[in-house]
């Protein structure tokens, strides 16, 4: 395919490379689309992000800071503006920042174009401060400076020539907080990749379980699910993922909940294939795991606000609930039990068709067209 970008020098900038998840799948897709690109980030932890070992990655001075500072988002917070603003992109034709926080702050000179793929406006500045700053010392360090941080974040959000939002949900937030219109390009779902996994049975003895697949962080609201299942002692819950709240959640969970940590994609496919339903209690930016679940015929019980409202068909491939409260989630689970047979059949029948809307090929076409438009001067500020 002949494109404007094929001969151009491109940099891809991400906030930090220290884990594996839905965003990291996006980065690998961008690497396939622009194989000549060089990656820039604040720091890497290749032990936890082995997927990045083969990528050309350049890091900032944060890489040299002590690990207890580098790995703590709040302690390292004051260093990020300088880290990203210090990168030199003079020799590049295009910078693509992929960010939910600081990477959009990169500075480019007029000949270099900047496209921001916005995962979300910075959560601990806009709308989710209470979730991120629950502990007293975090509030003490950040809250007095929130107004200044918001002003800075708003200013740097004006730097990209074009903002591309992950979903309509994120586009609405971008308009609300940054006062910028953006183009929506849904993230890529690799149908061929997931099709390659056999739906073999997992090693779980109890096959009648509900499933959570998430980073175990405050804003993900997994404690809401644990609270409800502590009351539903005859229902089983399996929680997949790692995060700063893992020990806290394990301590509050009853005997009917099991934590697996990170699992392989083959194991994840098996869990999706056998679970009663996937539960998503948080306001998702997009909700990649909801697509994974539907692909394997697993219905989704999800909070109705956010990206999952764009990926789940209520009553057909899942149940959407209106409030982030124990009562609302319990009612959604009760509705699930009433409709469980039809939901399972509906998800098996319609899940793959629903997922087809988000195929990686659609992402390739849309993103490539935007890049070519910006480089040719047809798009952007």
User: What pLDDT, in 10s, does the model give residues 162-198?
Assistant: 999 999 999 999 999 999 999 999 999 999 889 888 5
DSSP state string for 41-67 = ES-B-TTT-GGGTTS-EEE-GGGGS-H
Judge whether 296 and 344 are in contact, CB under 8 Å.
no
Provide the pLDDT for residue 59. 97
| Cα(362)–Cα(190) distance, integer angstroms | 10
Q: Exposure of 152 by Cβ count < 10 A (0-12 exposed, 13-18 middle, 19+ buried)?
A: middle
- DSSP β-ladder status, 57-59 and 38-41: parallel
**Number of C-beta neighbours around residue 24 at 10 A:** 17
- DSSP β-ladder status, 318-321 and 94-99: unpaired
Q: Which two tokens stand for residue 80?
A: 């990020």
Q: Sign (positive/negative) of CA torsion 75, 226, 17, 11? A: negative
Residue 261: phi and psi, rounded to 5, are: 75, -160
| Cα(85)–Cα(116) distance, integer angstroms | 15
- Listed in sequence order, the DSSP H helices in the chain are 22-33, 67-70, 80-85, 129-132, 136-142, 146-156, 168-173, 191-195, 222-231, 246-252, 265-274, 288-295, 308-311, 326-355, 360-375
| Cα(352)–Cα(298) distance, integer angstroms | 11
User: What pLDDT, in 10s, does the model give residues 330-352?
Assistant: 999 999 999 998 999 999 988 88
Provide the pLDDT for residue 219. 87
Provide the pLDDT for residue 19. 87
Q: Which of 194-198, 340-344, 368-372, 373-377 has the highest mean pLDDT?
A: 368-372
Q: What share of the chain is helix, strand, coil (3-state, %, to 5)?
A: 45, 15, 40
Bridge partner list, 213: 240
Is pLDDT of 282 > 70?
Answer: yes
Is pLDDT of 312 > 60?
Answer: yes
Domains of the chain: 4-188+359-375 (3.40.50.2000), 191-357 (3.40.50.2000)
Q: Which residues contact 317 (CB under 8 A, 6 or more apart)?
A: 294, 299, 300, 343, 346, 347, 350, 351, 354
- Name the residue with tokens 């936890």: 48
Of 318, 312, 358, 356, residue with least CA distance to 166: 358
- Rounded to two decimals, the pTM is 0.89
Residue 243: phi and psi, rounded to 5, are: 160, 175
Provide the pLDDT for residue 353. 86
Taking all residues of the chain, what is their mean pLDDT, rounded to a whole number? 91
User: What pLDDT, in 10s, does the model give residues 27-44?
Assistant: 999 999 999 999 999 999
Q: How far is CA 153 from CA 41, 219, 269, 312, in A?
A: 18, 20, 38, 31
| Cα(125)–Cα(134) distance, integer angstroms | 14
User: What pLDDT, in 10s, does the model give residues 212-268?
Assistant: 999 998 889 999 999 999 999 999 999 999 988 999 999 999 999 999 999 999 999
Q: Exposure of 257 by Cβ count < 10 A (0-12 exposed, 13-18 middle, 19+ buried)?
A: buried
| Cα(296)–Cα(275) distance, integer angstroms | 10
Provide the pLDDT for residue 221. 95
Q: Which two tokens stand for residue 14?
A: 């991400």
SS3 300: strand
Alpha carbon of residue 274 to chain centroid = 24
| Cα(269)–Cα(159) distance, integer angstroms | 40
Is pLDDT of 323 > 60?
Answer: yes
Residue 351: phi and psi, rounded to 5, are: -60, -50
Mean pLDDT of 78-96: 96
**Number of C-beta neighbours around residue 322 at 10 A:** 11
Q: Which residues contact 195 (CB under 8 A, 6 or more apart)?
A: none
Judge whether 210 and 237 are in contact, CB under 8 Å.
yes
């Amino acid at each position: 395919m002949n494109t404007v970008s094929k001969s151009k020098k491109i940099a891809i900038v991400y906030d930090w490379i220290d884990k594996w998840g839905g965003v990291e799948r996006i980065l690998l897709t961008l690497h396939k689309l622009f194989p000549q690109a060089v990656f820039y980030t604040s720091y890497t932890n290749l032990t936890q992000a082995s997927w990045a070992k083969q990528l050309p990655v350049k890091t900032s001075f944060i890489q040299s800071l002590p690990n207890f500072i580098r790995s703590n988002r709040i302690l390292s917070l004051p260093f990020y503006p300088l880290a990203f603003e210090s990168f030199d992109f003079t020799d590049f034709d295009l910078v693509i920042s992929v960010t939910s926080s600081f990477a959009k702050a990169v500075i480019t000179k007029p000949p270099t174009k900047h496209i921001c793929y916005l995962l979300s406006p910075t959560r601990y500045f806009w709308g989710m401060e209470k979730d991120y700053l629950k502990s007293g010392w975090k509030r003490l360090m950040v809250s007095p400076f929130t107004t200044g941080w918001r002003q800075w974040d708003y200013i740097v959000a004006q730097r990209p020539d074009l903002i591309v939002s992950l979903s309509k949900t994120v586009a609405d937030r971008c308009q609300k907080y940054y006062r910028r219109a953006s183009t929506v390009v849904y993230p890529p779902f690799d149908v061929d990749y997931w099709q390659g996994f056999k739906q073999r049975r997992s090693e779980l003895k109890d096959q009648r379980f509900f499933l959570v697949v998430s980073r175990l962080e405050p804003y993900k609201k997994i404690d809401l699910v644990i609270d409800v299942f502590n009351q539903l002692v005859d229902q089983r819950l399996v929680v997949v993922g790692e995060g700063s709240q893992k020990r806290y959640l394990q301590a509050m969970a009853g005997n009917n909940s099991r934590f697996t940590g990170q699992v392989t994609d083959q194991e994840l496919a098996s869990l999706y294939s056998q679970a009663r339903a996937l539960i998503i209690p948080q306001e998702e930016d997009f909700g990649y795991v909801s697509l994974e679940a539907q692909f394997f015929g697993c219905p989704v019980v999800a909070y109705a606000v956010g990206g999952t409202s764009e990926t789940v068909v209520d009553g057909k491939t899942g149940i959407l609930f209106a409030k982030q409260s124990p009562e609302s989630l319990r009612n959604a689970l009760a509705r699930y039990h009433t409709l469980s047979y039809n939901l399972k059949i509906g998800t098996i029948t319609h899940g793959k068709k629903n997922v087809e809307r988000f195929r990686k090929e659609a992402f390739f076409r849309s993103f490539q067209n935007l890049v070519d438009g910006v480089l040719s001067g047809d798009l952007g500020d």
